[in-house]
Amino acid sequence: MTIRAVDPAAVAAAAELLRQGELVAFPTETVYGLGADAASGRAVARVFAAKGRPADHPVIVHVATAAAIDHWARGVPDGARRLAAAFWPGPLTLVLPRAAHVGDFVTGGQDTVGLRVPAHPVAQQLLAAFAETGGTGIAAPSANRFGHISPTCARHVAEDLGAAVALILDGGACEVGIESTIVAFAGDDAMLLRPGMIGAEAITAALGRPLQAPDRSAPRTPGALASHYAPHTRALLVPATLLLAEGRQRLERDENPAVLARTVARPDEWTGEWRHAPADPGGYAHELYDNLRRLDAAGADEILIEAPPADSRWLAVRDRLQRAAAGIDDDRD
């Protein structure tokens, strides 16, 4: 495994490795992706092996421009085109009926394919360079071990995947910091499968109609189960008003809690790890996974997380925190 700073030679080398069926980790504006040639079953199988991920979980196909939508999907509804026009390149994934040639190894055997045009300049350069070699798309889940927190810098990828990756393109810290918003279409009805920093209001406005609640006709999203995205240490969401009392109780019981606070200040007598997260949802999301990784590494027996506000701007952060707090025994991508 090599970590390379990004320059044209590194991007060209990465595209060539993808062409040869190797794995390349690369930055996107959300989190780092573990990339493979989306047209090669052999290459995509290596992604699943590297992550330790079950084979029936679909992976997102990253493409250079919205024009590629018709290569990968069929019967694309107008609403999906409106969302692509409004938010691509950007942190939005569209789940659409797959084109006939799209492999089960990408769709997890479902009849849909997830597509995204990432905005990060390095992802854009890599997709363009890969297209020049004849590549049609890069299949990339988050570049973490199955069950762990998504990586938001090159070091996180190296810690999780190390030798399994031929090359990690180091593009610094990811700006958004949590995974893309996922919207699935069933006919013309759009459903939010995973909240992200593009909020439901913005999507509804661009669609010109409300989002439907996911129902049984919604595409299965393995890995979007409650305990996805979890640290190894047990985590608990605690209302701000109870955070100090809960922390002190644990210290009195000779436990070793760590805290991720947002508005509550660290008391002078606090002996354990105490991290302070930004007060706004964008800043909070940007630092969230690095905060969780650092807290996880602190050797605490429990992480107390100050619960975020209940308003819609915090929906995606709340979603990830609830998953982090739900435990680590389930199914996670």
Q: DSSP labels for 46-79? A: HHHHHHT--TTS--EEE-SSGGGHHHHBSS--HH
Contacts 24+ apart (CB under 8 A), 11-14: 11/122, 11/125, 11/126, 11/129, 11/169, 12/129, 13/167, 14/126, 14/129, 14/167, 14/169
Residue 138 CA: distances (Å) to CA of 18, 122, 232, 239: 8, 13, 29, 41
Number of H helices, E strands in the chain: 11, 14
Number of residues that bind Mg ion (CB under 5 A): 2
Instruction: Establish if 125 lies at the interface with ligand TXA (CB under 6 A).
Output: no
Please select the residue that binds ligand TXA; options are 11, 36, 95, 122, rule is CB under 6 A: 95
How is residue 268 written in tokens?
């002078």
Residue 59: contacted member of ligand TXA, Mg ion, none (CB under 5 to 8 Å, by partner type): ligand TXA
Binding mask 142-171 for Mg ion (x = CB under 5 A): x-----------------------------
Instruction: Establish if 219 lies at the interface with ligand TXA (CB under 6 A).
Output: yes
Please select the residue that binds ligand TXA; options are 14, 77, 90, 93, rule is CB under 6 A: 93
Q: How far apart are CA 12 and CA 57, in angstroms?
A: 29
Instruction: Establish if 28 lies at the interface with ligand TXA (CB under 6 A).
Output: yes
Nearer to Mg ion, 125 or 142 (CB): 142
151: left (phi over 0), alpha (psi -120 to 50) or beta: beta
Please select the residue that binds ligand TXA; options are 59, 63, 192, 259, rule is CB under 6 A: 59
Please select the residue that binds ligand TXA; options are 15, 17, 25, 57, rule is CB under 6 A: 57
Least distance (Å) between residue 148 CB and Mg ion: 9
Instruction: Establish if 333 lies at the interface with Mg ion (CB under 5 A).
Output: yes
| Helix spans in 196-276 (H) | 200-207, 243-252
Nearer to ligand TXA, 55 or 236 (CB): 55
Taking CB positions, which residue lies at the least distance from Mg ion?
Answer: 142
Beta bridge partners of 5: 170
Beta strands in the chain (DSSP E): 2-5, 24-27, 32-37, 60-62, 92-97, 112-116, 138-139, 167-170, 181-186, 189-194, 235-238, 257-261, 274-276, 302-306
Instruction: Establish if 291 lies at the interface with Mg ion (CB under 5 A).
Output: no
Nearer to ligand TXA, 64 or 304 (CB): 64
Residue 181: contacted member of Mg ion, ligand TXA, none (CB under 5 to 8 Å, by partner type): none
Please select the residue that binds ligand TXA; options are 40, 180, 233, 291, rule is CB under 6 A: 180
Instruction: Judge contact between 18 and 35, C-beta under 8 A.
Output: yes
Q: How far apart are CA 67 and CA 85, in angstroms?
A: 10
Instruction: Establish if 124 lies at the interface with ligand TXA (CB under 6 A).
Output: no
In terms of Cβ atoms closer than 10 Å to its own Cβ (0-12, 13-18, 19+), residue 251 is: middle
Instruction: Establish if 110 lies at the interface with ligand TXA (CB under 6 A).
Output: yes
State the residue for tokens 């990586």: 151
Nearer to ligand TXA, 140 or 295 (CB): 140
Nearer to ligand TXA, 15 or 258 (CB): 15
Nearer to Mg ion, 112 or 221 (CB): 221
Instruction: Establish if 319 lies at the interface with Mg ion (CB under 5 A).
Output: no
Instruction: Establish if 233 lies at the interface with ligand TXA (CB under 6 A).
Output: no
Phi, psi for residue 134 in degrees, rounded to 5:
100, 0
- Name the segment binding Mg ion (CB under 5 A); options: 87-95, 139-147, 254-262, 264-272: 139-147
Give contact residues for ligand TXA (rule: CB under 6 A).
28, 30-31, 33, 57-60, 93, 95, 107, 110, 112-114, 116, 140-142, 179-180, 182, 193, 219, 221-224, 333
Q: Which residues bind Mg ion (CB under 5 A)?
A: 142, 333
